[in-house]
Amino acid sequence: MLTAVGALLAAFAFPSNGFADNGSGCDFAATGTTESCSTPLTGSTFAGGDGNLSTSPPNFGTTDWQNVAGLNAGVEQFSGTKDDAFGQGTKEDNASVSVVNGSIPPNKSDLTRFYEAAEFSSGSNFLYLAWERTNVLGSANMDFEINQLTSNLSPGHDIINRTAGDLLVTFDFNNGGGRPALGLLFWVTSGSTSQCFASNSLPCWGNHLNLNSSNSIGAVNNLDAVTDPIANTSLAALTFGETAINLTAAGVFPSGTCEAFGSVFLKSRASASFTAEVKDFVAPVPVNISNCGAVTIIKHTDPRGLNPDFSYTSTLTASMGCLADTAPASFTLNDSAGVDNASNTETCSKVPAGSYTVTEGAEPANFTLESLTCVVTGGGSGSQDGTNKFQANITVVPNGHVTCTYVNQASGAILVTKTAKNLSLGAGQHPLAGATFTVNGVSKTTDANGQACFDGLTIGTAYTVTETSAPSGYAIDTTSQSVTPSSAASCTSGTPNGVSFTDSPLTDVSANATSEVPGATNSTIVCVDSIGNVVATSGPAGDPANASVTGLKPGTYTCTIVIDP
């Protein structure tokens, strides 16, 4: 039974002394024995045209299969009579295939493994592919099928899950010489059959593209044996081939569109003809080939759960799979729920690699931007602009996710209302001007409406409101009160949290006793409040006698005069 193994580079143990057999680092010749290896494609450092897997010497690229990031491997687990292969005349255009067990004929490629890696560099998507086989043949006719979905190919599982836009990379190397002929085809499900490369009916592999030196390089180790430092084995001449392809330059990822591929497998054809039967294969392995990433914008208020809408503009477009607002050039977010949900989060999951900006608009009343932070997973970048603090600068790379969170702090206000009785103005309480209050170290005096407002206060924080002086003729309210702002407000907008104080008007009292015959009588006067506390006294008996007091609050007072003849 054939099984597939996919793993990251970190999962392999590479020998530190893995070198190409040829000291120059080139194990490929297009003609005879003249070394003719290719340098990396523009924008890449991958040595996909040197015919070996080793990084040293780095004459044809500093990255090779030995150290490439994100390496995936497909491995043939069985050979001989247990080997899985395509049978019953299966050809490339067949989605329904026949999978059989049996030995691979000695004149056909007996595949052992393949490698895949992909990266985004210098604005382009690069795909790296390699194949290995056991038998030494002068020709190699290999196809790498790259699907958006995954297929399970084994006896009894004989359907290839193909989707319009799937890719087929053809690798043909004939008679032991010449450069590999590389081609690219797309799975076509609709339109004219003229798109088909070989078939005369849909679906089919079509829209064939001959890859060239501007978008691809390739090589076979036709000069000598090379070391596979991943499998820790030696590969005889003509048993290893590789290619590097700039998918962006080849038109696989048109500008402004998103494509994602999740599976790759290798197969061999019986000859260079595209219509030849496909024979051996190494089963699909999961991969992640994409030209798009994701952007998420999150709105938090401080404290959480406040209700205003926050507006944003961005360079993201409607084609980028945005959820909260499908037209993300202008959108709003609201944190009223106090938890991250569709109201306070905009996620765009199909953002082509590139640079973008998101800018918060005018702040709602009584809010200030507290912070703008970005977190990146899988590559890319996000940061607050150095000039415009409301702007997030975002760079998206394939399979990267940039999440930027805006936190806006709300400020609250406290409105102090001061009242007092004044019968000249009528019954009940009336606004009192001239009373001074202190909040958070700031002092303010009530106006003609009896009010003093304090704003710029932190919501959720308790503040002590204290009257520090009363206007002349009134008694100060000595009881401080604690007030906690609960909503966004200022002294000019919103609804401040209110607190009331009441001052008492004061009355002066004077009681006098004077003998009509001077000195004929002596008098004493004592004044008390309703509970008997003395508020004024005339002292020892005398003539005249006087008891006076100022600043009495409203209440019942009794003055007793004793006249002693």
Q: What's the confidence (pLDDT) of residue 99?
A: 85
Same domain membership, residue 480 and residue 397: no
Range list of H helices, 113-152: none
**6 falls in which pLDDT band (50, 70, 90)?**
very low
pLDDT digits (tens, 9 = 90+) for 429-453: 999 999 999 999 999 999 999 999 9
pLDDT digits (tens, 9 = 90+) for 229-250: 999 999 999 999 999 999 999 9
pLDDT greater at residue 230 or residue 10 = 230
Express as a percent the part of the chain with pLDDT over 90: 81
Q: What is the mean pLDDT of residues 474-484?
A: 94
Residue 193: φ, ψ to 5°: -70, -10
**106 falls in which pLDDT band (50, 70, 90)?**
confident
Distance (Å, whole) CA 299 – CA 364:
13
**150 falls in which pLDDT band (50, 70, 90)?**
confident
Q: What is the mean pLDDT of residues 360-375?
A: 96
Q: What's the confidence (pLDDT) of residue 157?
A: 64
In this prediction the pTM is 0.74
Q: What is the mean pLDDT of residues 497-509?
A: 95
Give long-range contacts, CB 8 A cutoff, 24+ apart: 517-524: 518/543, 519/543, 520/565, 521/563, 521/564, 521/565, 522/563, 522/564, 523/561, 523/562, 523/563, 523/564, 524/561, 524/562, 524/564
Strands (DSSP E) contained in 322-361 are: 330-334, 345-352, 354-360
310: CATH = 2.60.40
**154 falls in which pLDDT band (50, 70, 90)?**
low
Q: What is the mean pLDDT of the chain?
A: 91
Q: What share of the chain is helix, strand, coil (3-state, %, to 5)?
A: 5, 50, 50
Q: What total number of domains does the chain contain?
A: 4
Q: What is the dihedral of CA 267, 273, 274, 279, to 10 degrees?
A: -30
Q: What's the confidence (pLDDT) of residue 9?
A: 33
Same domain membership, residue 276 and residue 364: no
**22 falls in which pLDDT band (50, 70, 90)?**
confident
DSSP character string of 213-274: TTTEEEEE--SS-EEETTTTEEE-TTSEEEEEEETTTTTSS-TT---EEEEEEEEEESSSST
pLDDT higher than threshold 50 for residue 10: no
**156 falls in which pLDDT band (50, 70, 90)?**
low
| Amino acid letter, 459 | I
Same domain membership, residue 46 and residue 188: yes
Residue 194: φ, ψ to 5°: -65, -15
Same domain membership, residue 175 and residue 244: yes
In a domain, 500, yes or no: yes
pLDDT higher than threshold 80 for residue 175: no
pLDDT higher than threshold 50 for residue 4: no
pLDDT higher than threshold 90 for residue 289: yes
Distance (Å, whole) CA 199 – CA 96:
15
Nearest to 412 by CA among 499, 325, 478, 341: 499
Give the list of residues 6+ apart from residue 256 with CB closer than 8 angstroms, or none: 317, 319, 352
Q: What is the mean pLDDT of residues 77-85?
A: 76
**At CA 95, angle to CA 203 and CA 132, rounded to 5?**
120
Same domain membership, residue 194 and residue 77: yes
Distance (Å, whole) CA 211 – CA 227:
28
39-67 per-residue burial string, b: 16 or more CB within 10 A, e: under 16: ebbeebbbbbbbbbbbbeeeebbebbbbb
End-to-end CA distance of the chain: 134
In a domain, 74, yes or no: yes
Q: What's the confidence (pLDDT) of residue 2?
A: 37
Same domain membership, residue 390 and residue 357: yes
pLDDT higher than threshold 90 for residue 84: no
In a domain, 4, yes or no: no
pLDDT higher than threshold 60 for residue 471: yes
Same domain membership, residue 214 and residue 66: yes
pLDDT higher than threshold 70 for residue 277: yes
pLDDT digits (tens, 9 = 90+) for 47-65: 999 999 999 899 999 999 9
Same domain membership, residue 560 and residue 456: no
Distance (Å, whole) CA 526 – CA 538:
7
pLDDT higher than threshold 80 for residue 272: yes
Query: Among 289, 318, 352, where does a domain finish?
Result: 289
In a domain, 533, yes or no: yes
Q: Give yes or no for a contact between 413 and 454, defined as CB atoms under 8 angstroms apart.
A: yes
* Measured CA distances, 503 to 439, 471, 479 (Å): 18, 9, 11
**469 falls in which pLDDT band (50, 70, 90)?**
very high
Query: Among 268, 289, 310, where does a domain finish?
Result: 289
Q: Which residues pair with 499 in a beta bridge?
A: 416
29-31 vs 34-35, strand pairing mode: antiparallel
pLDDT digits (tens, 9 = 90+) for 399-422: 999 999 999 999 999 999 999 999
What domain range is 31 assigned to?
Answer: 9-289
Same domain membership, residue 309 and residue 278: no
250-272 per-residue burial string, b: 16 or more CB within 10 A, e: under 16: bebbeeeebbebbbbbbbbbbee
Q: What's the confidence (pLDDT) of residue 18?
A: 43
| Amino acid letter, 146 | I
Same domain membership, residue 148 and residue 282: yes
Same domain membership, residue 176 and residue 276: yes
**151 falls in which pLDDT band (50, 70, 90)?**
confident
Q: What's the confidence (pLDDT) of residue 414?
A: 97
pLDDT digits (tens, 9 = 90+) for 330-343: 999 999 999 999 99
433: CATH = 2.60.40.10
Q: What's the confidence (pLDDT) of residue 14?
A: 36
Q: Which of 7-16, 334-343, 530-539 has the lowest mean pLDDT?
A: 7-16
Q: Which is it for the CA torsion 231, 112, 158, 99, positive or negative?
A: negative
Same domain membership, residue 173 and residue 322: no
In a domain, 3, yes or no: no
Distance (Å, whole) CA 302 – CA 412:
11
In a domain, 1, yes or no: no
Express as a percent the part of the chain with pLDDT over 70: 95
Q: What is the dihedral of CA 40, 41, 44, 50, to 10 degrees?
A: -30
pLDDT greater at residue 369 or residue 11 = 369
Q: What's the confidence (pLDDT) of residue 296?
A: 97
Range list of H helices, 62-130: none
| Helix-then-strand count for the chain, H and E | 0, 39
